């Protein structure tokens, strides 16, 4: 939809209120807008006709491990790897794959078996790294592990842009923005889309705000980035000398001025900016309560771990994410940085897994205890995986791995997803997919399906095209992993 079309829609709505209902219509609208949220039972915003069908999931939380976690060392284990250790990766396996600049000059590509122990867990005897992920291993019967994820991107920025927006080119809306635009929010006092960032102890890549940006969608649908300090949302606190009542008067004056001059300017972005100011005003009371974890029980902190007591940690963000889900936030994305193990992988990966293992498992257990598991979709993964071959020298206790987009793993749980299930299969090198490939756009199509959206019909007119999150190359819903 272009600005002219947006202007026409806005003008027609205003004309209807002015000409047909007048003051009574405006009063009715005010009453509807100010109806208290009922924790997900009321929808604020969204597009007519959405959802397309009854959703399995009311809300989504995405634990995103930025940097490319090693699927080989976490979930995609093959016992045959022990016999491949130290041997050259056959060219027939690599098959001319484009390499990053970090390993393209290597003369040798020795295979590296995981330097950790694996065990089988759960009813279906699923391989999980028992050294690094004992807590996630305990919930393996509640999750689906997709071992055949793939992407064309081999470097961080295009890869993380791709999986979040459906394209490697910048400027497109993120998934959370699409859901905010299409489905709206479930609490008028909180945004529909929230992001938080934590930093691990491994090698970190930069994250850019465009990863939760709204692209060509109205700007009010961009993600709100919440921080760990005393001001979780920047500029939310009133400046010195400005009272809450004075801010209310300013917002009312701004809305009146915009209505008075509407016929002359009719800029949709002015409407979006006013909407954001109104949200900020309401968040002044909602956000402090949301971040006050003193209300949580000792049993909850024991479940999530002591790190949940420390602002800025992954564990704290997961706990806050659960609180946001309870309060009606539609889409939450928790970025955890530090998964780019080009060197010192045995040490750095262990540290990263120490950060995420207990809180990620705790989230599943907590949602189940609170009766939220059946209508909450949980996704956990990164932008790509790592190579079977070593980057740099391979020693007895140390090595690195390069980026690998041809095959990696992601796990999902909750609303509409099978439990205790593995999908897709890689070869003995965990390098190529031999069964049931799942492209990152297929993953996104499946997420949309679970919230009641047909990805093919969910479009926005921009630059003369019906743009969609899942691109134009025929993404599919992975129905085999769904209930």
Query: Does residue 62 register a pLDDT over 70?
Result: yes
Tell me: pLDDT of 350 over 60: yes
Tokens of 398: 């140390």
To which H or E segment does residue 355 belong?
helix 345-369
Check whether 26 has a pLDDT greater than 50. Answer: no
Work out the average pLDDT over 378-384.
Answer: 98
Q: CA 15, CA 1: separation in Å to the nearest integer?
A: 20
Q: What gap in Å lies between CA 215 and CA 219, rounded to an integer?
A: 8
pLDDT average, residue stretch 147-170 = 97
What is the 3-state composition of the chain as percent helix, strand, coil, each rounded to the nearest 5?
40, 20, 45
Alpha-carbon distances of 141 from 49, 123, 137, 414, rounded to whole Å: 36, 7, 9, 11
* Per-residue confidence band for 33, with pLDDT thresholds at 50, 70 and 90: very low
- Determine the pLDDT at residue 20: 45
**Chain centroid to CA 107: how far?**
38
Mean pLDDT over each residue of the chain, to the nearest integer: 90
pLDDT tens column, 198-231: 999 988 989 999 999 999 999 999 999 999 878 8
Q: pTM for the whole thing?
A: 0.89
Q: Is the pLDDT of residue 261 over 80?
A: no
pLDDT at 35 over 60: no
Task: Provide the pLDDT for residue 71.
Answer: 98
Q: Which of 397, 388, 380 is nearest to 146 (CA)?
A: 380
């Amino acid at each position: 939809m272009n600005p002219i079309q947006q202007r026409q829609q806005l003008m027609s709505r205003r004309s209807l209120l002015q000409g047909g209902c007048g003051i009574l219509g405006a009063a009715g609208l005010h009453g509807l807008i100010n109806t208290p949220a009922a924790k997900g039972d009321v929808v604020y915003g969204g597009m007519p006709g959405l959802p397309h069908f009854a959703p399995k999931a009311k809300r989504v939380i995405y634990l995103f491990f930025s940097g490319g976690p090693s699927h080989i060392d976490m979930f995609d284990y093959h016992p045959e790897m022990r016999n491949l250790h130290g041997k050259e990766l056959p060219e027939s396996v690599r098959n001319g794959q484009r390499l990053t600049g970090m390993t393209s000059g290597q003369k040798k590509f020795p295979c590296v078996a995981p330097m950790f122990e694996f065990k089988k867990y759960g009813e279906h005897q699923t391989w999980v790294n028992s050294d690094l992920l004992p807590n996630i291993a305990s919930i393996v019967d509640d999750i689906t592990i997709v071992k055949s994820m793939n992407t064309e991107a081999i470097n961080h920025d295009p890869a993380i842009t791709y999986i979040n927006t459906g394209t490697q080119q910048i400027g497109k809306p993120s998934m959370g923005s699409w859901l905010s635009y299409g489905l709206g929010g479930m609490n008028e006092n909180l945004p529909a889309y929230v992001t938080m960032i934590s930093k691990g102890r491994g090698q970190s890549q930069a994250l850019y705000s465009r990863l939760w940006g709204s692209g060509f969608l109205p700007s009010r649908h961009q993600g709100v980035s919440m921080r760990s300090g005393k001001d979780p949302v920047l500029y939310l606190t009133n400046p010195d000398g400005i009272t809450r009542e004075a801010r209310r008067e300013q917002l009312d004056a701004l809305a009146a001025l915009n209505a008075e001059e509407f016929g002359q300017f009719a800029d949709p972005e002015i409407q979006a900016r006013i909407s954001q100011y109104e949200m900020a005003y309401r968040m002044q009371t909602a956000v402090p309560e949301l971040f006050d974890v003193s209300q949580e029980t000792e049993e909850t902190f024991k479940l999530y771990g002591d790190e949940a007591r420390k602002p800025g940690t992954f564990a704290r963000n997961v706990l806050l994410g659960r609180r946001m889900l309870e309060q009606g936030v539609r889409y939450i994305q928790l970025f955890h940085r530090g998964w780019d193990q080009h060197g010192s992988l045995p040490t750095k990966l262990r540290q990263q897994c120490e950060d995420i293992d207990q809180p990620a498992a705790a989230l599943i257990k907590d949602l189940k205890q609170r009766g939220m598991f059946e209508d909450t979709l949980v996704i956990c993964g990164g932008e790509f995986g790592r190579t079977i071959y070593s980057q740099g020298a391979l020693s007895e206790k140390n090595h690195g791995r390069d980026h690998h987009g041809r095959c990696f793993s992601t796990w999902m749980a909750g609303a509409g997803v099978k439990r205790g299930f593995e999908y897709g299969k890689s070869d003995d090198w965990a390098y190529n997919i031999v069964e049931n490939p799942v492209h990152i756009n297929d993953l996104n199509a499946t997420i949309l399906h679970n919230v009641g959206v047909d990805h093919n019909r969910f479009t926005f007119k921009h630059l003369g095209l019906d743009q969609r999150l899942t691109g134009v190359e025929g993404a599919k819903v992975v129905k085999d992993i769904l209930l």
